Amino acid sequence: MAVGGVRLERVPTGIPGLDEALGGGFLRPSTVMIGGHPGSGKTTLACQFVYKRALEMGERAIYAALTEPVDVLKPHMKSVGIDLDRVGDLVSFLSLPPGTGKERIARRLFEHLFAQIDTFRPKNLVIDSVTALLHLLDPAEVRASLMTLNEMVARRSMIALLLTEMPMLGRAVGMGVEEFLADGLLLLEHVPTQSGLVTRLTVIKLRGSNHKREYFRVAITSEGFEVIGPMM
């Protein structure tokens, strides 16, 4: 499939139930923003995607882990069936080191990220999270860097997943960043039901895809992120 002269490839996620909601998977190249409440499964979804593509297709990925150290992230993911050590050097991790001067470090992170994209040549990329960058840098500076990144995504034919935190009250996502560059927008929200709090997925937009528009119930099990089905 081609859109605007750009050849698009439909890429299955390998995540149970998600491809059906997306209309077959993500498109390559594309930038997809995943916004969600704390603990709604954003990181698990993103890790599972790069893990599955690396394990089954040998695809390289860069994972910018900005909200928790990699040595905390890996055991957490392993507890839900995502053993990132199994894919070895196919997934390269970037992180913010502890200490002062975080603003300067955040700027250098983008420089390092752009350089590593050129040398490592990943097929997939995750920034976890854009919210962490917005706490360190001016939103206009983050937007400019993400727009540069978006150009690289298209040029290198990658899939980029940009994670953002949503407050429990309200639906603000990314301070407007997604309006500038996202080809797709997924929301993960905790919602009350008669039986208790559940997590739902909504595909707000996914350019070039005939995606589903209903709410989907999701869960994180010992085998990772799963889309159970439409909410009744």
pLDDT, tens digit (0-9, with 9 covering 90-100), for 55-100: 999 999 999 999 999 999 999 999 999 999 999 999 999 987 666 5
Asked whether the beta carbons of 172 and 185 are under 8 A apart, the reply is: no
Options 3.90.1150.10, 3.30.230.10, 3.40.50.300, 3.40.50.360; CATH for 2-96+116-230 is 3.40.50.300
Q: Which tens digit of pLDDT belongs to each residue from 4-25?
A: 567 899 999 999 999 999 999 9
**C-alpha span between 228 and 213 (Å, rounded):** 15
The answer to whether the CB of 189 falls within 8 A of the CB of 36 is yes
- Check residues 68 and 106 and name the one with the higher pLDDT: 68
Would the pTM of this model clear 0.85, i.e. be above it?
yes
Q: What are phi and psi of 64, to 5 degrees?
A: -90, 100
* Percentage with pLDDT > 90 across the chain: 77
